[in-house]
Amino acid sequence: MSKVLVIGAGGVGSVAVHKMAMNSDIFSEIVLASRTKSKCDAIAESVKQRTGVTVETHQIDADDVAATTALLNAVKPKLVVNLALPYQDLSIMDACLAAGVDYMDTANYEPKDVAKFEYRWQWDYQERFKEAGLMALLGSGFDPGVTSVFAMWLKKHKLKTIRTLDILDCNGGDHGQAFATNFNPEINIREVTAPARHWENGEFVETPAMGVKQSFDFEAVGPKNMYMMYHEELESLARFIPEMERARFWMTFGDEYIKHLTVLQNVGMTRIDPVTYNGVEIIPLQFLKAVLPEPASLGPTTKGKTNIGDIATGEALDGSGEKTFYIKNICDHEDAYEETGNQAVSYTTGVPAMIGAAMVLTGAWKGDGVFNMEQFDPDPFMDMLNKHGLPWTVEELPAPLPF
């Protein structure tokens, strides 16, 4: 029986709060706060209708540490689940330290003025959380999140060592728009326009953004082009699976998406430095976000499936030589929408956020300090994925990936 405070009323926040309400044995009281209170109220209304559970709502600017600390002192939650934007990670961690509350998020901190994803800023909080006897769990979404738990499950049950790891993220959904991103457009475009980086022989190797492409036949979706890019879990995986020779992250993009993104980049609309327009400073990428469809609005029209998983090659636990395993989840956009009113990209992030929060609140995962997903027993998390809407399968592949 525990009280949780969720910060952020976007698509991911909406799914997480719906799923928490469906598990009221763990989440006995749910409070939702965000920059725009009307969005919290709309989610609370939907939760009430779907589950009968009442969600308390508040307005908060989570960039303001003092205001956030005051909210935590007033609400007195056992855990804060940060589902606002990566920019708010450090201010919310500061507020948690000030109020003595555990912390969890789904994306690592990024400064607003540089598109740079690194755990360093949050890992630097290790001593402060440890000394305060508090726990911070970082990156409990799908990727990062489930992809790391998948890798650790393979290491526990199938492979003694992981030599190569490839994370394959396919969104086979069609939203019927010429161009839209399926989660926060600003964060999404910063991610895909950054140079690609993969782990190889003890260091990160950088290549131009979208410069490496492969075709892959995804179950339940079909053949898709996928592009190698940097993704933050590569950093924690490289740290916690030190024997890995190579780790790569791939994401599928359709030709239309690439075409639009290339034009937007070429004309300067993805820039994150300020430009002066009519005497006012604007950031082109933030302006672009304002004119693109809100990801949450894509729910009713999105059809198709997501397919996200890990392919790992290494020495088998049973001593039978080198083996390759593929572990993945397939999620249907329309089913996700029917259950929580949000499409599958929000669903595949919000469900693991609820599960990560459950791990902390039930004590299945516990410790003082700052933790990544790789540091805990994957089994209870994997059990909850099966029970709460993201079932997974594992199969042995006849050979490692040919590329």
**Residues at the site binding ligand NDP, with contacts judged by CB under 6 A:** 7-13, 34-36, 39, 60-63, 83-86, 88, 106-107, 141-145, 183-184, 187, 295-296, 346, 349
If the CB atoms of residues 159 and 358 are measured against ligand NDP, the closer one turns out to be: 358
If the CB atoms of residues 141 and 314 are measured against ligand NDP, the closer one turns out to be: 141
Report the nearest approach of ligand NDP to the CB of residue 13 (Å).
Answer: 6
Q: Using CB atoms, what's the residue nearest to ligand NDP?
A: 10
Helix (H/G/I), strand (E/B), else coil: 58: strand
Report the nearest approach of ligand NDP to the CB of residue 115 (Å).
Answer: 12
Report the nearest approach of ligand NDP to the CB of residue 257 (Å).
Answer: 16
Report the nearest approach of ligand NDP to the CB of residue 224 (Å).
Answer: 18
Measure the CA–CA gap between 402 and 263, rounded to whole angstroms.
32
Report the nearest approach of ligand NDP to the CB of residue 361 (Å).
Answer: 19
If the CB atoms of residues 164 and 343 are measured against ligand NDP, the closer one turns out to be: 343
If the CB atoms of residues 86 and 314 are measured against ligand NDP, the closer one turns out to be: 86
DSSP character string of 187-253: HHHHHHHSPEEEEETTEEEEE-TT--EEEEEETTTEEEEEEEE--THHHHHHHHSTT-SEEEEEEE-
Measure the CA–CA gap between 135 and 102, rounded to whole angstroms.
5
Report the nearest approach of ligand NDP to the CB of residue 245 (Å).
Answer: 25
Report the nearest approach of ligand NDP to the CB of residue 294 (Å).
Answer: 7
DSSP character string of 359-377: HHHHTSS--SEEEEGGGS-
If the CB atoms of residues 187 and 264 are measured against ligand NDP, the closer one turns out to be: 187
If the CB atoms of residues 143 and 235 are measured against ligand NDP, the closer one turns out to be: 143
Where does residue 304 fall: left (phi above 0), alpha (psi -120 to 50 degrees), or beta otherwise? left
If the CB atoms of residues 41 and 245 are measured against ligand NDP, the closer one turns out to be: 41
Helix (H/G/I), strand (E/B), else coil: 9: coil
DSSP class of residue 117 equals -
Report the nearest approach of ligand NDP to the CB of residue 314 (Å).
Answer: 24
If the CB atoms of residues 85 and 159 are measured against ligand NDP, the closer one turns out to be: 85
Torsion of the alpha carbons at 237, 227, 205 and 162, rounded to the nearest 10: 30
Cα–chain center distance at 355: 13
- Residue carrying the six token digits 């926040």: 13
- Residue carrying the six token digits 């396919």: 170
Report the nearest approach of ligand NDP to the CB of residue 296 (Å).
Answer: 6
Distances in Å between the Cα of 97 and the Cα atoms of 109, 344, 370 are 16, 33, 12
User: Using an 8 Å Cβ cutoff, are 317 and 390 in contact?
Assistant: no
If the CB atoms of residues 61 and 174 are measured against ligand NDP, the closer one turns out to be: 61
For 35-73, give one letter per residue: b (16+ CB within 10 A) or e: beeebbebbbebbeeebebebebeebebbebeebbebbe
